[in-house]
Amino acid sequence: MTKPVVLLAEELSPATIEALGPDFEIRNCNGADRAELLAAIVDVDAIMVRSATQVDAEALAAAKKLKVVARAGVGLDNVDIKASTQAGVMVVNAPTSNIVSAAELAVALMLAAARHISPAHAALRNGEWKRSKYNGIELYEKTVAIVGLGRIGALVAQRLSAFGMKVIAYDPYVQAGRAAQMGVRLVDLDTMFAEADFMSVHLPKTPETVGLIGAEQLKKAKKDLVLVNAARGGIVDEAALYEALKTGEIAAAGLDVYAKEPCTDSPLFELENVVATPHLGASTDEAQEKAGIAVAKSVRLALAGELVPDAVNVQGGVIAEDVRPGIGLTEKLGRVFTGLAGEVAQQIDVEVRGEITEYDVKVLELAALKGVFSDIVEDQVSYVNAPLLAAERGTAVRLVTETESPDHRNLITIRGTLADGSQVSVAGTLVGISQRERLVEVNGFAVDIEPTDHLAFFTYADRPGMVGTVGGVLGEAGVNIAGMQVARDTKGGDALVALSVDSAIDADTLAKIETAIEASKVRAVNLV
């Protein structure tokens, strides 16, 4: 059988090639050479690029077999997403690959601008000792404004908080409660310019954000403002920034991105109060390797017919950034559901509540079904065939959405009806800045436990001594408990012990626990 062809249009790390594995024919071309690219792309199944290769409508028209465009990085300015979607081509990127590197560079530019690192360095190299001229300012106890509190903005806020800075942010798409969890106060644009001593931009480049910070806004800023843009060129009006820096409306700037790149002749580069780098946000060994490995895995999934969590466009639509973190959790919930049910359900409801229901969450229904059937059928289950497996087994599936979520910002519940009419349910959520996965409900019992590789659930009549009994039996079997939750419906009613353990619990040990506590239901779930 002919192997799928993957075209590497730019130099990628050896780890990227290794992550692709032996199942593909690898070809190379210089994607920056237009003629070479158009000739090479004709019969390939996937193309992997960085930033120099333009995958536009012309290139897509030439690619007769193309299924996937993979950008080994975050930005997609060089990929025509609309044309790709119209051509039925999936676009994937590596949205988290460079976030640490980009956040660290933003902090570095801020420090360099505040302490005049660039001109002091240049003076010293010219044999000049200008210690008194380059007197800087501290970050400590100053107010920093984060413009865009997404993943990178949140990391910058976290790091600058450690400097003892007061952190405010402007982001109309972030709830005040979420910002407060990060120790950040949300403000409007005018308040931000009035209060900020330092400012760091972390917004995507869209028609709404181009020129967001221009002459009018800079006139409202403090005279000692240090402005950093390591996000996308064009968000800060460069002509207005030049005038503000030259006339002393603001104090300094740190820049890594420009409206047109490559950029080597900007008047901004003539100013001593500007520290500038050539778009180095993702230019670390770690970021490049993570990006390459991430998109290589996405290419493998896509060419295998799987739905790819990092796909920018899928089945003609887009997976929203806020929805993507829930995909892995939902798949785990599906597997826990099957472990609890012990059979194929006749009806499954995938309930999604909270803020993410503002977006298309159809992908979470697919993720739930993939999890539900992964441990039931022998064949590989994918996002493509999971609905077919449900239909073949007579399982009716419904996606239910509700904007209200009283107890959690977002809540995903899988609820099913079994052949005997009984109900099984499991719910989960993501918590904190790092979006940690938590199980928060099992069969109506409120819990709070991490969905680790090995889980167990015991339902029994509530009475003293049962928790100790469970621990004793597991101890004798050499099974270590990593986490435990005990819940009950009423005092003396039914109770549930939910456990995460370090190793799988064998059938004999489960039977001993069932007998010892006279459990009405015993279930073990292994997610490995």
Residues annotated as catalytic are: 232, 261, 279
Nearest in space to 236 (alpha carbons), one of 117, 109, 139: 109
Which of helix, strand or coil describes residue 409?
A: coil
Which of helix, strand or coil describes residue 228?
A: strand
**H helices, E strands: number in the chain:** 17, 23
**Which segments of 303-409 are extended strands (E)?**
311-313, 347-354, 396-402
- Rounded to 5 degrees, φ, ψ at 328 are -65, -40
> Helix 99-114 and helix 285-303: axis angle, to 10°?
150
End-to-end alpha carbon distance in the chain: 31
Q: Which helix (H) or strand (E) holds 472?
A: helix 466-476
- Cα(356)–Cα(403) distance, rounded to whole angstroms? 8
Q: Which two tokens stand for residue 465?
A: 């001594």
Query: Could you tell me if 498 and 450 are in contact, meaning their C-beta atoms sit under 8 angstroms apart?
Result: no
Q: DSSP label at 203?
A: -
- Cα(79)–Cα(68) distance, rounded to whole angstroms? 11
Q: Which two tokens stand for residue 266?
A: 């900007």
